[in-house]
Amino acid sequence: MSYDPTGHLLLTPIDQEAPTRVRRLRQLGIGERPEAVFDEFAKKLAEVTAAPYTMVNFIDENRQFFAGLHTPNGPQSVSDVGTGAGAVSRYMDRDHGYCPHVVVRRKALVLEDVCDYPRFAGNPVVDEIGIRSYLGAPLIDRTGVALGTICVVDTEPRPWGRPGLETIKAMAAELVEKIHRREDGLF
């Protein structure tokens, strides 16, 4: 983790596994372009959680890429640019959002109200996009690599609780299984 001595808050964690992740994503042929199967999965995730924003997120050394994205306005194109409150793009800097924390921790993260956590309340997505709650889980494949995450976010605090945690973990396992079937030629 890096430390900001002026703000006394831990920033985006250092990701030692990023080069291995990038190699694995390339081997799988995912994480560089939007795919209908990931958009469909994000839509399903939105339906299951009743969340307005859902993502299938693959992370490299510098950025996050939402290969699957569902917003209240439906899927977004690759060229969409996230500017202003509520705008979402397929790309996000690695220091924005909470998925990089999930990938490094290799554990699900539940933030019912990000403002309750000083470490997360100062994240740029709070002011730039209006994120107030987050629920995410890592996508750990059969090789042990955390490929990325699935996540749901809302602009309002949400009482995700244990049911939300169990749901996001189960959905992550479901998507990892789909990725494995794809790798095995069964998808």
pLDDT digits (tens, 9 = 90+) for 144-160: 999 999 999 999 999 99
Q: What is the pLDDT of residue 4?
A: 44
Q: Is the CATH number of domain 3-183 3.90.1150.10?
A: no
Q: Model confidence at 77, in pLDDT bands (50, 70, 90)?
A: very low
Mean residue pLDDT across the chain: 86
Q: Residue 162: left if φ>0, alpha if ψ -120 to 50, beta else—which one?
A: alpha
Q: Which residue has the higher pLDDT, 129 or 184?
A: 184
Tell me the one-letter amino acid at 119: R
Beta bridge partners of 149: 57, 138
Q: Model confidence at 76, in pLDDT bands (50, 70, 90)?
A: low
- The domain ranges of the chain are 3-183
Q: What is the mean pLDDT of residues 66-94?
A: 68
Q: What is the mean pLDDT of residues 76-91?
A: 53
* CA 118 – CA 114 distance, rounded (Å): 8
User: Mutual orientation of helices 161-183 and 18-28 as an angle, nearest 10°?
Assistant: 60
Using a pLDDT cut of 90, give the percent of the chain over it.
66
Q: What is the pLDDT of residue 75?
A: 56
- Contact by Cβ (8 Å): 90, 80: yes
Q: What is the pLDDT of residue 83?
A: 39
pLDDT (tens digit, 9 = 90+) per residue, 163-183?
A: 999 999 999 999 999 999 999
Q: Model confidence at 1, in pLDDT bands (50, 70, 90)?
A: very low
- Contact by Cβ (8 Å): 19, 61: yes
Tokens at 127, concatenated: 């002011």
